[in-house]
Amino acid sequence: MISVPPGTVVRDAETGDLVADLVKPSARAVVAHGGRGGRGNSAFASSTHQAPRFAEKGEPGQTRWVLLELKLLADVGIIGLPNAGKSTLLSSVTSARPKIADYPFTTLIPNLGVAIVNDREIVLADIPGLIQGAHEGVGLGDRFLRHVERTRLLIHVLDGALDDPLAAFDAINRELDQFNPRLAAKPQIVALNKMDLPSAKEAWPKVQKTMGKRHLDAFPISAATGQGVAELLRAVAYRLAELPTEEAPTEEELPVIRPTADENVFEISREGNAFRVQGKKAERVIAMTDLNQEEAILRLHRVFQAMGLTQALEEAGIHPGDMVRIGNVELEWQE
């Protein structure tokens, strides 16, 4: 058993299909099944053969490559352009201590923090790397946008020092939509940061009016001084109380369940001078047969005859002395 953090998504490495989405701490998933044990000689006893002198080997376990992807579990995702003040806001309302500096991409990994609002814990995640082209990997954005998928609410931090904070707001939302339209549809609360600067104070009336037209709550804050942060958090707590605690998975997130193939079906093909047999039952039977036991080999022939495999090989043109390959076993055909 392999332990993974809550929020781990398991996908098939070859197809990309979702195998499991382990959200809860107690969640478990089987991604590869072990083979069933072999039967002893008593399982093959009959009224005419009361003491069989062979046993069955265990079935090989399933081998599978999977991809593990972690999506952080948080109530609120803090998004915005680099240097908008996301990490400063996180550190001002929680005990998280992310690296903070006045250059872009100071934050290279998502940071989590817990804020207490009205005796309720709220988990916030600072999502780094979002700039124009983030959905294509520019600025590390595609590495972190997936973490937004787990959040129920977004705090969109606008940099009040920019000439046009509204253009930045639209740019980030375009990236969310291009990465996954569901992200752009998530509820947002807007925070115009750096209200301790004259440029932010000048931009606030326009931001407030525009967000009002878009039916979005907006707050003027200064993460550095704490101005307006308490009001922002209260609005976040109130909004979270209205939202469902867990999002129902969409169709594309549900595990892919494919019809089970008929185990008796097999295919015969040529590999040079040999015949290759492919089929679940044929490969399982040969793997579980102890070829050092004469009675086991005789039983193998009977099973292949009952499956129609013997007749199919004869119709395919096999002759005594030809090689037959089934799974990892190679046999010489005899009449």
Are the beta carbons of 267 and 279 closer than 8 angstroms?
yes
Q: State pLDDT tens for residues 153-206.
A: 999 999 999 999 999 899 888 888 887 788 888 899 999 999 999 999 999 999
Helical axes 86-93 vs 229-242, angle rounded to 10°: 80
Mean pLDDT (the chain) is: 79
- In CATH terms, the superfamily for domain 267-332 is GTP-binding protein OBG, C-terminal domain (3.30.300.350)
Give start-end residues of each CATH 2.70.210.12 domain in the chain. 1-70
- Angle (nearest 5°) at CA 328 between 324 and 331: 30
Least confident of 134-143, 227-236, 264-273, 278-287: 134-143
- Its sign, for the CA torsion 98, 99, 100, 105, is negative
How many Å apart are CA 189 and CA 79, to the nearest integer? 10
CATH of domain 1-70: 2.70.210.12
Instruction: Check pLDDT > 80 for residue 7.
Output: no
What is the amino acid identity at position 279?
Answer: G
CATH of domain 72-245: 3.40.50.300
Q: State pLDDT tens for residues 250-288.
A: 444 556 566 566 778 889 998 888 899 998 888 888 888
Q: What is the pLDDT of residue 2?
A: 80
Percent of the chain at pLDDT > 70 equals 78
Give start-end residues of each CATH 3.40.50.300 domain in the chain. 72-245
Q: State pLDDT tens for residues 77-130.
A: 888 888 888 888 888 887 555 444 453 444 445 677 888 888 888 888 887 755
Give start-end residues of each CATH 3.30.300.350 domain in the chain. 267-332
Torsion angles phi and psi, residue 89, rounded to 5: -65, -45
Angstrom distances, CA of residue 66 to CA of 251, 253, 334: 21, 16, 41
Q: What is the pLDDT of residue 259?
A: 59
Q: State pLDDT tens for residues 43-78.
A: 677 766 666 776 777 677 777 788 776 666 678 888
How many Å apart are CA 21 and CA 67, to the nearest integer? 12
How many Å apart are CA 174 and CA 151, to the nearest integer? 18
Instruction: Check pLDDT > 80 for residue 212.
Output: yes
